């Protein structure tokens, strides 16, 4: 991991103390890497009954600062709306990883002409999941996972392989769940529309933007 990757975290929301005896305390914790607000919607909905969720927003692959801010705001907007809707005292919090696209470009140097879904994308996914897993292990989380699998553009077998390797390396559990299944992607579209969230139409880096037409389905 580079020094840039190590400068990773700023606490976005204050910790909330749960009342003694709350049944939800029995649920295991999960650090959920989130690529964007819309993708997190269906994943949070699916995990919330089983886990205590903290979102880790870490996406150094996003080149444009304004685009990064739009996606972060969409994530924050959804979490605020979600927290206002739940009927127990366990709000989701956000940890924001360091945004520095130089870390991504250093890691992917020489792979600029790779097709989407190729070696460059694997390195990008590894980078985001590695920092997530390390933060989870260092901060007492029992599990980690990522929203990336909700996208039909992402290869779950690749994500699973990376997740298992990182789980063994850091001594924590990777939640093995392909979130696009059971209409997960369609549900994320429904929820992002219902919550009026900004939805991008490319993954994040300038390379992914090259292959996207304005009319294509968002990530």
- The answer as to whether 215 is a domain residue is no
- The answer as to whether 160 is a domain residue is yes
- The answer as to whether 92 is a domain residue is yes
- The answer as to whether 116 is a domain residue is yes
pLDDT in tens, the chain (219 residues): 544 444 444 433 333 333 333 434 578 999 999 999 999 999 999 999 899 999 999 998 888 899 999 999 999 999 999 999 987 658 999 999 999 888 877 887 887 777 777 788 898 899 999 999 999 999 999 999 999 999 998 999 999 999 999 999 999 999 999 999 999 999 999 999 999 999 887 776 666 766 665 434 444
- The answer as to whether 19 is a domain residue is no
Beta strands in the chain (DSSP E): 9-11, 29-34, 52-57, 93-97, 143-146, 173-174
- The answer as to whether 20 is a domain residue is no
pTM: 0.83
- The answer as to whether 217 is a domain residue is no
Tally of domains within the chain = 1
Question: What confidence score (pLDDT) does residue 205 get?
Answer: 67
- The answer as to whether 128 is a domain residue is yes
Question: What confidence score (pLDDT) does residue 1 get?
Answer: 54
Tell me the C-alpha distance between 6 and 152, whole Å: 30
Task: For CA atoms 9, 140, 57, 16, give the dihedral sign.
Answer: negative
Tell me the C-alpha distance between 145 and 163, whole Å: 7
Q: Which CATH number fits the domain that encloses residue 37?
A: 3.40.50.620
Q: Phi and psi of 181, rounded to 5°?
A: -70, 165
Question: What confidence score (pLDDT) does residue 23 get?
Answer: 38
Q: Which helix (H) or strand (E) holds 104?
A: helix 101-107
Determine the structural domain holding residue 38 and report its residue range: 3-12+27-210
């Amino acid at each position: 991991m580079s020094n840039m990757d190590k400068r990773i975290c700023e606490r976005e929301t204050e910790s909330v103390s749960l009342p003694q005896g709350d049944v939800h305390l029995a649920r295991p914790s999960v650090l959920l890497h989130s690529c964007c607000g819309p993708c997190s919607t269906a994943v949070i909905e699916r995990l919330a009954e089983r886990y205590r969720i903290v979102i880790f927003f870490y996406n150094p692959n996003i080149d444009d600062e304004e685009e990064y801010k739009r996606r972060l705001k969409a994530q924050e907007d959804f979490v605020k709306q979600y927290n206002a809707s739940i009927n127990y005292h366990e709000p989701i919090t956000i940890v924001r990883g360091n945004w520095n696209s130089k870390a991504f470009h250093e890691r992917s140097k020489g792979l600029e002409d790779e097709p989407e879904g190729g070696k460059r994308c694997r390195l990008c996914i590894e980078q985001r999941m590695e920092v997530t897993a390390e933060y989870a292990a260092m901060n007492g989380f029992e599990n980690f996972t990522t929203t990336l699998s909700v996208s039909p553009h992402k290869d779950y077998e690749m994500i699973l392989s990376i997740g298992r390797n990182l789980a063994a390396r850091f001594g924590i559990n990777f939640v093995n769940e392909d979130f696009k299944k059971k209409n997960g992607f369609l549900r994320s579209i429904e929820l992002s529309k219902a919550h009026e969230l900004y939805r991008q139409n490319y993954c994040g880096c300038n390379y992914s933007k090259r292959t996207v037409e304005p009319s294509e389905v968002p990530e």
